[in-house]
A and B are shown apart, each in its own frame.
Chain A
């Protein structure tokens, strides 16, 4: 089953894993990735995630469907938070299930790599001194996404 959500609210990782686990018969493994706002010595306070309502859901649903087909996944959950999130806060949840581990692990990698550069989200950093800076796209992320072409 595909489950795609774009929301400000925190997600419940345990509940999401239970949902993936109980989704169907024949599941032998579940793989998850959770991304969070990185803490550091640079005084980052929060990130604000902007997105393109409508296109975001469309792109994430297409990505999930592609992953299911390409890696023979049984279930796939993509949850991406938007709005202002403080350091340490979860941002994104990617969860996949499959009969054997290789497909679930590869599917999760594919989804997070493609989602970072292909779904219309933009991060704006806010620092303790009040500075606000839009995050620049990283070449490494483009390369990671292109590695699945």
Chain B
């Protein structure tokens, strides 16, 4: 529990993942988004296919736009989504 992060998926990505939210355990106290995603993709073929087919996925950490090189810590709120199309 101590190493958990919450992940939200939005829009087309939410539909492709078949879920809007999940809790996952970090492989270490501090990892990059990229390392976490690689770990999750190895365990989840469906997620691997979705992320492989969507090269433009964006990420937010604690509701702030981030990059895949940024660090995730226990308790963080992550979100993955397609490029935004507001206005």
Contact = CB atoms under 8 A, between A and B. Distances in A.
B86 A134 contact: no
B82 A134 contact: yes
A92 interface: yes
A91 B86 CA distance: 9
Interface string A114-149: 011111111110000000001111000110000000
Chain A interface secondary structure, helix, strand, loop or mixed? mixed
A55 interface: yes
A49 interface: yes
A89 to B, nearest CB: 14
Given A50-B10, A91-B87, A134-B12, A120 B60 contact: yes
Interface residues of B, number: 17
A137 B79 CA distance: 18
A35 interface: yes
B84 A120 contact: yes
A4 to B, nearest CB: 13
Contact of B60 (A52, A112, A121): A52
A119 B84 contact: yes
A2 B83 CA distance: 26
Nearest to A120: B84
Interface in B33-76: 56, 60, 63-65
Interface of A: 35, 49-52, 54-55, 58-59, 80, 91-92, 112, 115-124, 134-137, 141-142
Interface of B: 8, 10-12, 56, 60, 63-65, 79, 81-87
